[in-house]
Structure 1
């Protein structure tokens, strides 16, 4: 075979098509999806709670409300705001305590609490940390200036008192940065929910192509119902085996508590079955060419899974995908289990709903799209010569 003949083979043509298609699809989806950062930061919600009865607290709350480029909510109690923060409904909670003005007037440290949820989209926690740093710097400068002005009015003071006043200037304002659901150091810990989810999804996507292919090759050897059951049973076996190895790696490298291993295992198996059936939809419909659709769907979910940005920041298409995406519900559920960020059950039920919906769609496709093949079709085609048949002898 010459090289030119090799290039004419179907495998080469398919490979070059997938190479071009994958490059275009990946760049279009990723570049368009991540262009929402940081432009859509103003879609994030921040709660400002002013419990201070004095004038200083009101002034600061008003200034922050006007200057922060977010959706500001000032109608909540601190307890309610923290609950919503834990559920990732808010990106930051700013609490001005009731003794803020009183402490400032007494020369004691005036403190404001800034609480962020680290078990959230990485872009949010990182951005809020920068915002809090900037606010603290500005407020610290402002309070130091005000305190210094008071010192200038009392220049004729003993040396010891002057030293005390100088210390007072340095501690006039304290910004208390509070972390909710602290995530262990290391990017591998913070991104583990996404990594576990993607590893499972890609494996399920490849299995969908292989097992549905086996389903089509076995037509006529068993009923469609039985073959469909075989496909689902095989997928479940792979889900269990792959989960064991995935968790061995995850627990070996990341800082996870072994007490949650059963929860992680159960979810990983559920995710596999959901991802498998979602990917199988297109494979049942158009065969191996279904990968042409499955790849963009996979890439879309890497943006829509909520690990990098929350739903509020996503463009409409990715926001929609997140509501029907196995990845989104899996990533959020893993955050809840690993770092205690919120309740796990709503996301598990979302994953169950996606899995059940995909299974039902596949059952409909198998029932109405795939034609019945007579059970004896293959048998009749492969029947051997009858025993009592007489051989033909040429004289």
Structure 2
């Protein structure tokens, strides 16, 4: 046993076990602590068109709801923000809200708009908000507060009490879902797993590809080897995503058009991920994996598939802006279920890819190499 405990391979394995526990538990504990702590960062828009009790009720909701409440927007603008995921719920108070409350034979309908093309955390939270708001209205209508409002509308105290008692359960929640997700948790989690599978593969491949570059650049020449590698990366990026997408679409298909769009998106993601993870491999060789692995785990939080960007702790929110996985996951939501700002997200992913490629070019430029003469043996792939 002593011989094994002194063996460098055993010691390296123990180090990796400890290292992986530290980064995984540290990342997940700090990242997921945002739920439910940061739920208050979600945005709710209250669009009120009633100039009587609706105004009073909207003001009370703005003060009491534990969310970022917007009341200065019209319904059309709010719907576009909902599509773009800038807000997460719209509550629409109709123009005849007070009128129907005061009519004994009519029921009040409040419209709630929810964009289902969001992480499960967001969807479950806003569904609870709808229930809470509707219950709050029913409770409030039973209190003396509504009696006072009705008295201010020049009703007698007796009439106000009778009407307040008679309008319990008059309010009905009308939930209007946009971009619904197909049934099945595999669909809900598809953006995360499609993206992560490509990124993990790219991370492992980049270490091997840089090893091949170091082996061949002495034989082919510094820049010919580098450009040949980038051409190889591009071809691989086009072909490899077809495998995973074919498996997923065999289980749940979305049509040929969606398949092609997802294929091209994940080809771009794979190429961007190869470039991004190659930065550390070019700088530190195989030791670059010690940086790539933590960054992968950080992106499981920062990609926005479980915790929306607005709820992320500050560190993860900052990382999301330079995360290949974040932009890909959000675009997957758009392509599979629907959503807005696709052009902005695609631009963000493209900028990361171009920036990483440029940085790799600069690093490669300053890396020394020795040109092999004819008959020289190539260097081993891994030292």
Structure-2-length-normalised TM-score: 0.89
Contact preservation (8 Å) 1:48, 1:74: yes
Deviates more, 1:340-349 or 1:90-99: 340-349
Alpha-carbon distance in structure 2 between the residues aligned to 1:375 and 1:59: 81
Corresponding residue SS for 1:219: helix
Contact preservation (8 Å) 2:217, 2:226: no
Give 1:319 deviation, angstroms. 1.1
Task: State which of 60, 82, 86 in structure 2 corresponds to 1:85.
Answer: 82
The answer to whether structure 1 residue 104 and structure 2 residue 101 are counterparts is: yes
Contact preservation (8 Å) 2:327, 2:346: yes
Q: Which residue is 2:306 aligned to?
A: 308
Give 1:152 deviation, angstroms. 8.3
Alpha-carbon distance in structure 1 between the residues aligned to 2:262 and 2:245: 8
Matches of residues 43-192 of structure 1 in structure 2 within 5 Å?
43-54=41-52, 56-107=53-104, 108-143=106-141, 172-192=170-190
Alpha-carbon distance in structure 2 between the residues aligned to 1:175 and 1:306: 29
Contact preservation (8 Å) 1:207, 1:235: no
Q: Which residue is 1:157 aligned to?
A: none
Corresponding residue SS for 2:187: helix
Q: Which residue is 1:359 aligned to?
A: 357
Alpha-carbon distance in structure 2 between the residues aligned to 1:31 and 1:380: 52
Matches of residues 31-46 of structure 1 in structure 2 within 5 Å?
31-46=29-44
Give 1:144 deviation, angstroms. 6.7
Q: Which residue is 2:375 aligned to?
A: 379
Q: CA RMSD in A?
A: 2.4
Alignment deviations for residues 138-187 of structure 1 (CA, whole Å, 9 cap, x no partner):
3234447879x969859xxxxxxxxxxx9x85751111112121111222
Contact preservation (8 Å) 2:91, 2:110: yes
Alpha-carbon distance in structure 1 between the residues aligned to 2:76 and 2:48: 12
Contact preservation (8 Å) 1:119, 1:183: yes
The answer to whether structure 1 residue 327 and structure 2 residue 331 are counterparts is: no
Deviates more, 1:197-206 or 1:110-119: 110-119
Deviates more, 1:341-350 or 1:9-18: 9-18
Q: Which residue is 2:209 aligned to?
A: 211
In the superposition, relative to structure 1, how do residues 170 and 64 fare at CA in structure 2: closer, same or farther (>3 Å)? closer
Alignment deviations for residues 345-380 of structure 1 (CA, whole Å, 9 cap, x no partner):
211111111011101111111111x2131231x635
Alpha-carbon distance in structure 2 between the residues aligned to 1:34 and 1:336: 24
Larger Rg: 1
Gaps of 5+ in 2: 148-157, 379-383
Alpha-carbon distance in structure 2 between the residues aligned to 1:311 and 1:25: 21
Contact preservation (8 Å) 2:101, 2:107: yes
In the superposition, relative to structure 1, how do residues 231 and 6 fare at CA in structure 2: closer, same or farther (>3 Å)? farther
Contact preservation (8 Å) 1:197, 1:327: yes
Matches of residues 210-289 of structure 1 in structure 2 within 5 Å?
210-254=208-252, 256-289=254-287
Contact preservation (8 Å) 1:271, 1:351: yes
Give 1:6 deviation, angstroms. 4.8
Q: Which residue is 1:390 aligned to?
A: none
Runs of 4+ in 1 over 6 A off after TM superposition: 144-147, 149-152
Alpha-carbon distance in structure 2 between the residues aligned to 1:186 and 1:381: 55
Give 1:259 deviation, angstroms. 2.4
Contact preservation (8 Å) 2:90, 2:112: yes
Q: Which residue is 2:17 aligned to?
A: 19
Q: Which residue is 1:338 aligned to?
A: 336
Contact preservation (8 Å) 2:101, 2:167: no
Gaps of 5+ in 1: 155-165, 383-395
